[in-house]
Amino acid sequence: MNQIQKITSLVQELNEHRNAYYNLNSPTITDKEYDQLFDELQQLETETGFILSNSPTQTVGYYPVSSLSKVQHPIPLLSLDKTKQVTEITALLARNPALLMLKLDGLTTKLVYEDGHLIQASTRGNGEIGEEITHTLPAYQNVPLSIPYRKRLVITGESYIHINDFERLKETLTDSNGKKFRNARNLVSGTVRSLNPEICAKRCVYFSPFNVLEGLDESPYSDSRQMRLSLLKELGFDTCPYISIEGSSPTEELVATSIDMLVTEASRRHVPIDGIVAVFDSFSYSKSCGKTGHHYKDGLAYKFEDEQYETILREIEWTPTRFGEIAPVGVFDTVEIDGCEVSRASLHNLSFIKNLELVPGCRVLISKRNMIIPHIEENLDRGRYQDIVPPHCPCCQSATRIKRRKTSDGRIVETVHCDNPLCDSQILRKFEHFVGKKAMDIEGLSLATLERFLELGYLNSFQDLYHLDQYREDILALDGFGEKSYERLWSAITRSRETDFVHFLVAMDIPMVGRTKSRILNNVFSGNLNDFEAAAVGSYDFTALEDFGETLNHNIHTWFSNEENLCLWKELQKELTFKSKEEHIMREVKENPFMGCTVVATGKLTHFTRDGINTKILELGGKPGSSVTKKTDYLICGEKAGSKLKKAQELNIPVLTEEQFLEMIA
């Protein structure tokens, strides 16, 4: 046993004796024996410079802070991309030697050591900026406050509470809302970020490092993640458990077996986990993999399959949308999933209900897909299905009808519709869309506020929004409204009077004409609403535009053939001032390789959202496409590109990385 191991052993032994003496009132050794062990520990700490946070020699107390200061992370603490497929993990491991490591379920934490002393601890935060929690580190159970390494050392790891400790603590602890903590992750997050470290001292918080950002680079094996983790262990850190995968072509069976071994180890140690991490061993190879704005590309997080919870479906609610489709939502007995109470999930359409044979009263299995979206996975009581289509709209009581449409993969999907254009729910949802950020962008008009204004008769048409000032005194008298809130609302309405072709067209809500199609039309018609109107009222063939099919062409002409729509189109423009296309784009299109070209983007991009890349293509004078055809000039390819990349290769269409695209437009 080396000196650091001896110190760790003595700390554990002395703490057990202290607990027996102070808490159990049942001493296990004499005071003289305790003092001898204490002196031995103190001597070893002096010789090695290694001191644990829970050492009996550290009895100076804890120092609270008044607030948590912000900490900038020079090296971003990004996450990893996620998968639920062992095949994807296996493919990653085949590229280079790697480590399979427990994905601890806690709070990612960074520690900084200078001259052998802990000088700063911080949370991950958003990856760029975290919060300083140095004051709580002395209250951890296993963090070295002093180490026998004198150079700068920066490590990242996970702060967590063991499962058995959490089960004991949760019976007596409540959160800021007075409710019991639902999982160990929430408890540790609140604990280490508390202003008083004495709270942390009572909650058995541990830390396990999983990466070295700076330091331990003196040895000939400094490029090895595994070697640096081994050196951390020698320095007294309780490193995160891992398995090294070194073969050039590991099998799925080997990977699955290794994952099972790690899960078993987590269970044995009572540590909370929510998956397994696969990450390359070589730091230099990891760096060559690059990163996105969200995650590093040198690894993958293997997430366990979504857990399913049994409950009882109590009701199916039907709500009309702005286009008249009546959307079903399942209401079931509340279940707790990943610390959240869930009692509702979308049932999508009538076909989904029929396929699962859902009726109120049946037992169902619920999951949170990708830990985000509640979803009904299965019906455990099939065979009881009966027609549950509402005969009347739940809002306006008009008769309903069933529509059938064919999906791109050939399936027939049935939906329930209300065809009453005066249905209050449809009208409310249309107003909600009109004031939304992608449309007229009027802040402060929530769904509840719109509903009140409609009920009170303040709104009958979109134009009425721009004359709400005539109801100023009435609005000020409403609950929740005061002088300031009214002025904020009226200022937002006034600001929205200055708009552009794209926002106005989105606000008109022509079926299938969203932001991307509106931007294309803005480009084609040079931001001129009159020219677009003439084309839509006339016989212009919109299918000549990239990605404008027969259905979309029909939707545009049909919308403009409706007198009420045409009247709205003309009258609403009288309330508004329109920026020119040049003002909207903010610059002239300069000569570039993409002018006049059809460009398709696929996969996950680092610098652009899907709307963002389409906007950039339009600004360059190009045409953003959604599918690869012979007319496609370029394919911009991000991560996880699928069939579009294969199609482009078959057609010999130039394929660009995002970096190549940026270089070409620089």
Convert the pLDDT of each residue in 369-424 to its tens digit: 755 688 899 999 888 888 889 999 999 999 999 999 877 667 889 999 999 989 99
Radius of gyration for the alpha carbons in the chain, expressed in angstroms and rounded: 31
pLDDT of residue 588: 42
Distances (CA, A) of 185 to 108, 251, 269, 314: 10, 33, 16, 31
Tokens 């729910």, located at residue: 425
- Dihedral over Cα of 659, 663, 664, 666: its sign: positive
Is the per-residue pLDDT at 544 higher than 90? no
Q: Which residues of 532-553 are buried (b: 16+ CB within 10 A; e: fewer)?
A: bbebbeeebebeebbbbeeebb
Is the per-residue pLDDT at 593 higher than 90? no
Is the per-residue pLDDT at 616 higher than 80? yes
Mark residue 49 as left, alpha or beta (left: phi above 0; alpha: psi -120 to 50; beta: remaining): left
Strand intervals (E) in 33-128: 51-52, 70-72, 79-83, 98-104, 107-114, 117-123
What is the rounded average pLDDT of the residues 434-443? 93
Distances (CA, A) of 272 to 41, 105, 232, 509: 31, 5, 22, 48
**Whether 159 contacts 197, CB under 8 Å:** no
Mark residue 341 as left, alpha or beta (left: phi above 0; alpha: psi -120 to 50; beta: remaining): beta
Residue 177: pLDDT band by 50, 70, 90 thresholds? Answer: low
**Whether 357 contacts 383, CB under 8 Å:** yes
pLDDT of residue 617: 86
pLDDT of residue 664: 83
Q: What is the DSSP letter of 463?
A: G
H runs (alpha helix) in 458-575: 472-476, 483-496, 501-508, 515-524, 529-537, 550-561, 563-573
pLDDT digits (tens, 9 = 90+) for 32-77: 888 888 888 888 888 888 888 878 887 655 677 878 999 999 998 9
**Whether 96 contacts 282, CB under 8 Å:** yes
Is the per-residue pLDDT at 589 higher than 60? no
Q: Which residues sit opposite 601 in a β-bridge? A: 636
Spatial separation of the C-alpha atoms in residues 49 and 113, rounded to whole Å? 13
pTM: 0.55
- The two three-digit tokens of residue 197, written as one number: 């470290």
H runs (alpha helix) in 539-622: 550-561, 563-573, 581-585, 610-619
Determine phi and psi for 227, rounding to 5 degrees: -65, -40
Spatial separation of the C-alpha atoms in residues 635 and 602, rounded to whole Å? 7
Tokens 């707790």, located at residue: 336
What is the rounded average pLDDT of the residues 578-605? 71
pLDDT digits (tens, 9 = 90+) for 260-294: 999 999 999 999 998 999 999 999 999 988 887 67
H runs (alpha helix) in 197-240: 197-201, 225-234
The helix (H) or strand (E) run that includes residue 252 is: helix 252-269
Spatial separation of the C-alpha atoms in residues 18 and 55, rounded to whole Å? 11
Using a 10 angstrom Cβ sphere, with 0-12 exposed, 13-18 middle and 19 or more buried, the burial of residue 372 is: exposed
Which residues are part of the catalytic machinery? 103
Q: In what order do the strands lie in the sheet with 79-83?
A: 79-83, 295-303, 273-280, 98-104, 242-245
Strand intervals (E) in 272-325: 273-280, 295-303, 309-320
298: closest CA among 310, 290, 306?
A: 290
Length of the chain: 666
Q: What is the DSSP letter of 471?
A: G
Q: Give the chain's domains with CATH numbers.
A: 3-43 (1.10.287.610), 70-303 (3.30.470.30), 309-418 (2.40.50.140), 424-496 (1.10.150.20), 501-585 (1.10.150.20), 598-665 (3.40.50.10190)
Q: What is the DSSP letter of 407?
A: -
Is the per-residue pLDDT at 651 higher than 80? yes
**Number of C-beta neighbours around residue 595 at 10 A:** 11
Spatial separation of the C-alpha atoms in residues 483 and 472, rounded to whole Å? 10
Q: HSE (CB half, 13 Å, CA atoms) of 370?
A: 5
pLDDT of residue 295: 81
Is the per-residue pLDDT at 349 higher than 80? yes
What is the rounded average pLDDT of the residues 526-545? 92
